[in-house]
Amino acid sequence: MGNRTVIPFGPQHPVLPEPIHLDLVLEDETVLEAVPRIGYIHRGLEKLVEKKDFQQYTYVAERICGICSFMHGMGYCMAIESIMDVKVPERAEFLRTIWAELSRMHSHLLWLGLLADAFGFESLFMHSWRLREQVLDIFEETTGGRIIFSVCEIGGVRKDVSPETLNKISGILLSMEKELKELAKVFLNDSSVKYRTRGIGVLSKQAAFDLGAVGPMAKASGINMDLRTQGYAAYSKLQFEPIVETDGDSYARTSVRLREIFQSIDLIKQAVSIIPEGEIRVKVTGNPNGEYFTRVEQPRGEVIYYVKANGSKFLDRFRVRTPTFANVPALLETLKGCALADIPILILTIDPCISCTER
């Protein structure tokens, strides 16, 4: 009979971008079960709808999370626009798509850097983040902010991008693609990366479905689920295929996210070539009345926004169900039976964004 100990993991750990706590029950360095505890960043943002009217709340919705901030703002605006039956002009849809795909790229590059840092490969971490800086510079040039843009509003977008800037973005992405290909070769072929990620944390297709995994966690286990195929924003006019792998281990999840970066570059190139001229915003008057569920594909998975309005300028309810909230039970399942040294890598493979989870 082995020796059972309970080890606390977190909330402060070098590998975690945000605090989460896990109580791990170990028997001789193998994990038997894990009990999660969240709540270190609970700010009560959903209760702020009672104080800020629905136009001001766009700025609060953006600040739910720092890494996926644009998609939160976009999802909120899409929900309100569906309730109020506002048709956003086409150029604004394309601009939102371009910014959303750039957001996805920067989020995945950040995650790749953190993964490399988790197993000690510091130079790979620095190179991933150096490439991410180029994306952040594009953001600052077009919107004004590096992480939080304040560029999405109800009825369109607030800033326009000139054709010269769009061509410049295409040029930057072309040179980034070359460097990314070299980085991808290291991530997928290097023997130390393979040793730390192959066969670790396997999630079978049935288990991923039973536990409600979303995003790259589910895609790496063989479930074909990508909400961009539903055609919100300008995705109905762009051609792409969802990326699916079948192995279900951490290596497959790394591979899914890497291939999604290349897919995003391709989507941006398509969008820049067919973006139409026109207005970027429409004027919105009146108050929303009704309720609606909106689903958006964030870098981490599927987000559900629920907005309920009653005709006054304050909303009744705004609820965000973020992908990390849905991936936590899958994390608890993958942790069973792994070794103590693999725990940071496993927690990172769900791409934890805890400030989204506990708005």
Partner 1 sequence: MSILSMSKILFKSILHGPYTVLYPIRKKENYEHTRGRVDITVSDCIFCGLCQRRCPTGAIRVDKAGSTWSIERLQCIQCNYCGEVCPKKCLKMGNQYTSPSFGNVRDDYTNARVSDNTENH
Partner 2 sequence: MEQQIIKMILPNELLAETLHLRNDGYRLAAISCTNKDGMELSYSFDKDYDFLNLRFVIDTDIEIESISCIYFYAFLYENEIKELFGVKIKDILMDFKDNLYKISVKTPFNMKKEE
Binding residues for partner 2, per CB under 8 A? Answer: 35, 37-39, 42, 44, 47, 209-212, 227, 229-232, 292-295, 302, 304, 306, 308, 310, 316-317, 319, 321, 325-326, 328-330, 358
Question: Out of partner 1, partner 2, none, which partner does residue 42 contact, by CB within 5 to 8 A per kind?
Answer: partner 2
Q: Which does 182 bind (CB under 5 to 8 A by kind): partner 2, partner 1, none?
A: partner 1
State the nearest-atom distance from the C-beta of 319 to partner 2, in Å.
Answer: 5
Partner from partner 1, partner 2, none contacting 141, C-beta within 5 to 8 A by type: partner 1
Two tokens, residue 157: 């977008």
Of 169, 149, 170, nearest in space to 74 by CA: 149
Per-residue burial over 159-181, b if 16 or more Cβ lie within 10 Å, else e, is eebeeeebeebeeebeebeeebe
| Alpha carbons 123 and 116: distance in angstroms, whole number | 8
92 touches partner 1 (CB under 8 A): no
Residue 22 CB, nearest approach to partner 2 (Å) = 13
Bridge-partner residues for 25, per DSSP?
6, 33
The secondary element (H helix, E strand) that includes residue 209 is helix 205-210
Residue 68: contacted member of partner 2, partner 1, none (CB under 5 to 8 Å, by partner type): none
CB closer to partner 1, 185 vs 205: 185
Which residue, 165 or 224, has its beta carbon nearer to partner 1?
165
- Return the structure tokens found at 130: 């150096």
Q: What is the DSSP string of 44-58?
A: -GGGGGGTS-TTTHH
Per-residue string for binding with partner 1, 104-143, x by CB under 8 A? -------------------xx--x--x---------xxxx
Give the amino acid at 253. Answer: R
Q: Which of 187, 163, 321 is nearest to 253 (CA)?
A: 187
Minimal distance in Å, beta carbon 2 to partner 1? 33
What is the per-residue binding string for partner 1 in 173-192, x denoting contact by CB under 8 A?
A: ---------xx-xx--xxxx
Q: Is the dihedral of CA 15, 16, 21, 24 positive or negative?
A: negative
Rounded Cα distance, 335 and 33, in Å: 7
Contact 31, 60 (CB under 8 A): no
CB of 185 or CB of 336, closer to partner 2: 336
Residue 104 contact partner, candidates partner 2, partner 1, none, CB within 5 to 8 A by sort of partner: none
The residue (of 62 and 342) whose beta carbon lies closer to partner 1 is: 62
Q: What span, in angstroms and rounded, lies between the C-alpha atoms of 90 and 98?
A: 13
Residue from 2, 33, 59, 163 touching partner 1 (CB under 8 A): that is 59
Beta strands in 241-323 (DSSP E): 289-298, 301-310, 315-321
Contacting residues toward partner 1, per CB under 8 A:
52, 55-57, 59-60, 123-124, 127, 130, 140-145, 150, 158-159, 182-183, 185-186, 189-192, 194
